[in-house]
Structure 1
Amino acid sequence: MKNMNPERSAGDRERTAEGAEGGGRKDDDGERKASSELNFVLFTAVVVVCTHFPTMMAATSWIVGGAYKWNLPSKPNFYEEWTKGKKFAVNDSLWFLFEDHKHTVVKATKEVYDTCNTTNIKGDFDLSWFINIMDKPILRYYVCTFHCKEGHKVRIDVKES
């Protein structure tokens, strides 16, 4: 609540009003600038989301092995059977979920996939999960370096969406 002193002159009141008004203009300019920057950020975010929305909506996230996840298979062709009937496409993601230090997952060549000779594979992928976003149509191979010979490997045929 403003304290209006009747003894103040009209000129004092005008100067006080001008001072408040001038300060208000600075605040208004700052608020307009912040509002403008926020609008730009929001607009940019909307454009990015709208541009990528069809791609994001079309992509599928696959947990390799389904409910069984990336564990030592009960039969050697388990993961081969798991892939049957599935349509893996560009921009889909593969999630390999497993217990720490009990399994690994590495991208492999066809030769490594076929022979399970993992001695020359570099990398340490035993962190309980691994995500791979498939960015191009290609036949991909993944193996567990501990249990490849027991069938702990998968071949993913990625197609155009």
Structure 2
Amino acid sequence: MAFTQFIVLAIVAILFPSIMGMDFMVGDDKGWTTNFDYQAWAKGKEFHVGDNLVFKYPVEAHSVIKVNGTSFQQCAISAGNGTLTSRNDVITLATSGNKWYICGVAKHCEVGNQKLFIMVSEDNSSAVRGSIEPLYYGWMMAIFGILMMVMV
């Protein structure tokens, strides 16, 4: 009985991360800053509905604004584009399609190239993803399951 429970929990621990959204730290260890090539950073990564973009930056140094393709090219901010300034902004990718983000501080977009363009796919079945975080959670669930079985 305990072995069967272990097998079921192990399978759940392995499959659960594949259906969770991934967290992508924009710019990795550099974070959201000027003079960084965000297009090179995004190249090769697969973004899917349910994934999260995490923008980290020093307080009052930057902002994150979701814009359309034209505003992205022109580094222009339109009225009504919600500006994020928490320094730890998390954007959940809720729909598929093209997504554009810029910094609205000073000329960070125009001069500092602080802008990001990504394409978001509806399909979340790819085995190769951009973060190891779900694998970590999967192992944590497996360990928790083993501990629960030992305690019972």
Q: Give TM class, smaller chain.
A: 0.5 to 0.7
5+ residue gaps, structure 1: 1-49
Amino acid at match of 1:117: A
Letter of the 2:22 counterpart: T
2:31 matches 1:69: yes
Q: Which has the larger radius of gyration?
A: 1
> What is the TM-score when the length of structure 2 is the normalising length?
0.63
Alignment of 1:127-146 (within 5 A): 127-146=86-105
- For residues 126 and 58 of structure 1, do their structure 2 counterparts lie closer, same or farther at Cα, with a shift above 3 Å needed? closer
What residue is the counterpart of 2:109 in the other structure?
148
Q: For residue 34 of structure 1, what is the aligned residue in structure 2?
A: none
Contact 1:55/1:91 (CA < 8 Å) preserved in 2? Answer: no
The 1:59/1:71 distance shift into structure 2, 3 A limit, reads same
In the TM superposition, what whole-angstrom CA distance separates every residue of 1:2-53 from its partner, at most 9, and x where no partner exists? Answer: xxxxxxxxxxxxxxxxxxxxxxxxxxxxxxxxxxxxxxxxxxxxxxxx8xx8
Mapping 1:12-161, distance limit 5 Å? 54=16, 57-74=19-36, 78-118=37-77, 120=79, 122-146=81-105, 147-149=108-110, 150-160=112-122, 161=124
Distance across 1 between alignment mates of 2:35 and 2:27: 9
- The percentage of aligned residue pairs carrying the same residue is 24
Name structure 2 gaps, 5 residues minimum: 1-11, 125-152
Cα distance in structure 2, aligned partners of 1:103 and 1:96: 10
Distance 1:122 1:90, change over 3 A: closer
How much has 1:133 moved relative to structure 2? 0.9
Asked whether the 8 Å contact 2:71–2:78 carries over to 1, the reply is: no
- How much has 1:144 moved relative to structure 2? 0.1
CA–CA distance in structure 1, aligned partners of residues 22 and 102 of structure 2: 21
- Mapped to 2, the partners of 1:139 and 1:54 lie a distance apart of 27
Shift of 1:119: 5.7
* CA–CA separation in structure 2 for the residues paired with 1:138 and 1:128: 25
Secondary structure at the counterpart of residue 81 of structure 1: helix
Shift of 1:107: 0.6
Higher helix proportion: 1
Q: Alpha-carbon deviation of 1:131?
A: 0.7
- Larger RCO of the pair (alpha carbons < 8 Å, separation 6+): 2
